[in-house]
Structure 1
Amino acid sequence: MSAREEILGRIERVVPTRPAADVAADYARIDRGYLRRHHDDGVLALFAERVADYRAAVVRVPEHELPAAIAERLAARPGEHGIASGLPEEWTAATAAPLVRDPAADALDGLAGAVTGCAAAIAETGTIVLDHGPGQGPRALSLVPDYHLIVVRAAQVFPDVPEALERLDPSRPLTFVSGPSATSDIELSRVEGVHGPRTLEVLIAE
């Protein structure tokens, strides 16, 4: 018996594996009497306000103006920008800036920025969720470059956490983004760009 098998055996004896049916039944019995949403109207405006509170730049644009909006923002940051497979080609059709599709991990630090879509967004908390599916790339693409431009479609914005979570697959690697990366030391000195992009811009396509 290997060390791994021995360790897993010990865990199994303490916490036996339960049938999937039992797990599903326990999940169904969870009391969900809490308020599922705090807002019914003005969801996009609330989302834009909350994201801006985190010091991210937020712009609401009509869907047909999205390519021009992306091109304008990338032109302001000279250099190559990383994009992932599955990002709609029309989004970058007007972009003259050089784009690198699916950049290698060792090339990420040299990029001027990254452009991605998202899986969902939460208005109440100003949070954007990436599940790293098509158009979003691996987690490193959204964390290593110093600039991140995220496109959020209006239909992807949900009023509150419960509704957004229901649209997400918990088996996928989820990244929750609430503004640019920032941290504070014991003296409350704010430092940005430590754990992710120093600059975050969000385009809300309506």
Structure 2
Amino acid sequence: MNARGVSDERSWGEPVSAREEILGRVRRALADVPAAEKPGDVPVVRDYLRVHDELTPGQAARLLAENLAEYRAVVHRTDTAGIPGRVAASLAARGSRRVVVPAGLPEEWLSAAGPEVERVPDAPDLGPRELDAVDTVVTGCAVAVAETGTLVLDAGPAQGSRRITLVPDHHICVVRAPDQVVCSVGQALERLDPARPLTWISGPSATSDIELSRVEGVHGPRLLEVVLATDR
């Protein structure tokens, strides 16, 4: 019988389910905890490192670009003024004619794309079939993690709903450095609201079968292009 009055003993040879085994471990771990104690009564020591290396903004941007490329994302370096031209060039290279646009995406980012590129607004009635019929989605991001080469989207105005970045085959994501680039996951979490729908992206969508044959585009974009805009 443990401190909470629950017995953990079982007859020899009696089968134990995975659920029972996990709950038993939890009971044993809590055996010395007073019944009236609440989670906030005992402070949790969080003295782990927030960041492994102190990087300058320029170093963080370079590390982000290197790790994104390691994940097979295509990275373009430019400045803020060069975003429209870079986005237009990526759309033209891909032959994109229909582009999903979040409601809060800066208009100038698509200003160089030309009238032949149809802008498809992100709307509640935009379902999987409609999204599958577009060529590209263009978004911003909430934060980017240099150490892991990860982009985080939180459905902000320039990012739109989560579904628009999961169905189209081609995703262009604009990252503004240094404002949106942090070194570590810990620093990213400090900026994010856990109540928002968070999407963590490390390269194009990919999976492998038992023989380690890589297949891209299974549950997300097959091609991820990142426009890393740094104002010098």
TM-score, length of structure 2 as denominator length: 0.76
Deviation, 1:38, is 1.7
CA distance in 1, matches of 2:83, 2:176: 10
Aligned to 1:85: 103
Deviation at 1:121, TM superposition (A): 0.7
* Equivalence map 1:73-112=2 (5 Å): 73-78=90-95, 79-96=97-114, 97-102=117-122, 104-105=126-127, 106-112=129-135
> Which residue in the other structure is 1:129 paired with?
152
Match of 1:117 among 140, 165, 171: 140
Number of matched pairs: 183
Instruction: Give the counterpart of 1:30 among 5, 19, 44.
Output: 44
Does the residue aligned with 1:74 lie in a helix, a strand or coil?
helix
Letter in 2 for 1:118: C
Scaled by the length of structure 1, the TM-score of the pair is 0.85
Structure 1 Cα separation of the partners of residues 136 and 217 of structure 2: 13
Q: Does 1:138 align with 2:155?
A: no
- Match among 183, 187, 195 for residue 159 of structure 1: 183
Larger Rg: 2
CA distance in 2 between counterparts of 1:40 and 1:204 reads 20
**Identical aligned pairs, as a percentage?**
54
Counterpart in the other structure of 1:189: 213
Query: Deviation string for 1:30-76 (max 9, x for gaps)?
Result: 22211111222210000000011000001111111111111111112
- Please give the per-residue CA displacement for 1:96-147, whole angstroms capped at 9, x wherever unaligned: 1222121512310001110001111100110000001101111110000000
2-structure distance, mates of 1:120, 1:29: 29
1:191 & 1:51 partners in 2: Cα distance?
18
Runs of 4+ in 1 over 2 A off after TM superposition: none
Secondary structure, counterpart of 2:228 in structure 1? strand
The residue matched to 2:196 in structure 1 has which SS?
coil
Query: For 1:148, what is the secondary structure of its paired residue?
Result: strand
Gaps of 5+ in 1: 1-21
Instruction: Pick which of 88-97 and 123-132 moved more.
Output: 88-97
Letter of the structure 2 residue corresponding to residue 71 of structure 1 = A
Match of 2:61 in 1: 44
Greater share of helix residues, 1 or 2? Answer: 1
Distance 1:161 1:189 in 2: 29
> Gapped runs of 5+ residues in structure 2?
1-37
Cα deviation digits, residues 82-108 of structure 1 (max 9, x gap) = 111000111111111222121512310
- Where does residue 59 of structure 1 map in the other structure? 76
One-letter amino acid of the counterpart of residue 86, structure 1:
G
